Amino acid sequence: MTAKKSGNDRAERTGERFFTIAGHRMAARPLPPGLHVVATPIGNLGDISIRALETLAAADGIACEDTRVTAVLLRHYGIETPLTAYHDHNAARQRPKLIAALAEGRRIALVSDAGTPLVSDPGYKLVQEARAAGFSVVPVPGASALLAGLVASGLPTDAFLFAGFLPPKSAARRTRLDELKAVPATLVFYETGPRLAAALADMADVLSGERSATVARELTKAFETVRGGTLQGLAEAYAAEAPPRGEIVVLVAPPTASAPSAADADRLLVELLRDRPLSAAVAEAAGLTGLKRRDLYSRALALKDKDGPA
């Protein structure tokens, strides 16, 4: 025990930095100058790499969204690196200071409150300016809510589009969804609890076909939930419940094959209406074509009126 303490004292005199895992104090290796973009846990503090801990411990400073949030992580791992707030409201003011620190040969770590920086935060502008000024930008990968939600969703992962937060108001949200509805990939959104039911309802109405979807909440935390279904079914379920709390990822399956033309849909409806009740024909046509039931119902009524008895 004495020898260990003596070794730590010598290390402190030489400027070494430390982090602690499960009570074991470990020295962080020296860090090269530059901007180090470090992923941190999205909930479970165990979801951090040794490299990330070394980087945070060895940095001259850490730029973070909320110093209170990052301080919890640093205390957990016995890291004493100074923190600087860097967020949407002060980014324009703080960026020149951080660039100046890099110009002095400092080692700056950039983190977000949770997950991988630059994903729905202002970090990309700092990275952009650092690269433009010729400074090294080093990624230290790790946890990401969008990837955690994607792999737990059961939806296609070969192609996906992260669309961030949708606009808070329905009209703007529907416009944005209309722009995304034909993208041949799984769509990934971040959403808030109070807006979730309304957002799901707009998705169900705007995105073509009865698409499968998943709502992943509080990933890696004690109350983690991953709930799947159709967009319409999820919208109705969440509308009937109190707004959920916590961080939410919404994932929507890609569109089905190209929607048939109006003429193709009419031909299918005519065929189905020959030996099926209207509601059954519409339901089957919706399943076969991916078109909305209410649109097909209107077409089916028009076709019945057109071909009905004189």
Q: For 122-134, write each residue's pLDDT tens digit.
A: 799 999 999 999 9
Assess contact for 81 and 110: CB atoms under 8 A.
Answer: no
Q: How far apart are CA 240 and CA 232, in angstroms?
A: 13
Summarize pLDDT for 46-59 with one digit per residue, the tens.
Answer: 999 999 999 999 99
- pLDDT reported for residue 10: 40
User: Does the structure show a pLDDT above 60 at 8?
Assistant: no
pLDDT band at 80; cut points 50, 70, 90: very high
Which one has a higher pLDDT value, 209 or 44? Answer: 44
pLDDT-wise least confident of 109-123, 159-173, 271-285: 271-285
Summarize pLDDT for 14-71 with one digit per residue, the tens.
Answer: 578 999 999 999 999 999 999 999 999 999 999 999 999 999 999 999 999 999 999 9
Residue type, 40: T
Domain ranges for the chain, please list them: 7-143, 146-252, 262-307
Q: Could you tell me the end-to-end alpha-carbon distance of the chain, in angstroms, rounded to an integer?
A: 101
List Cα–Cα distances, 260 to 28, 33, 149, 265, 303, in angstroms.
60, 57, 32, 6, 17
Summarize pLDDT for 211-262 with one digit per residue, the tens.
Answer: 999 999 999 999 999 999 999 999 999 999 999 999 999 999 999 755 567 8
Q: How far apart are CA 199 and CA 235, in angstroms?
A: 8
Q: How far apart are CA 46 and CA 180, in angstroms?
A: 35
DSSP assignment of 60-122 equals: SEEEES-HHHHHHHHHHTT----EEE--TTTHHHHHHHHHHHHHTT-EEEE--SSBSTTSSST
Which residues in the chain belong to E strands, given as ranges? 17-21, 24-28, 34-38, 61-64, 83-85, 107-110, 137-140, 160-165, 186-191, 212-217, 225-230, 248-252
Summarize pLDDT for 143-199 with one digit per residue, the tens.
Answer: 999 999 999 999 999 999 999 999 999 999 999 999 999 999 999 999 999 999 999
Which one has a higher pLDDT value, 280 or 228? Answer: 228
Contacts of 277 (CB under 8 A, 6+ apart): none
User: Does the structure show a pLDDT above 60 at 3?
Assistant: no
Strand order in the sheet with 186-191: 160-165, 186-191, 248-252, 212-217, 225-230
Which one has a higher pLDDT value, 310 or 73? Answer: 73
pLDDT band at 13; cut points 50, 70, 90: very low
Pairing of strands 61-64, 107-110: parallel
Domain 7-143 annotated CATH 3.30.980.10: no
146-252: same fold as 7-143?
Answer: no
pTM flag (> 0.85): no
- pLDDT reported for residue 6: 38
- pLDDT reported for residue 276: 85
Give CATH superfamily name and number for 146-252: Tetrapyrrole methylase, C-terminal domain (3.30.950.10)
Share of the chain above pLDDT 90, in %: 74
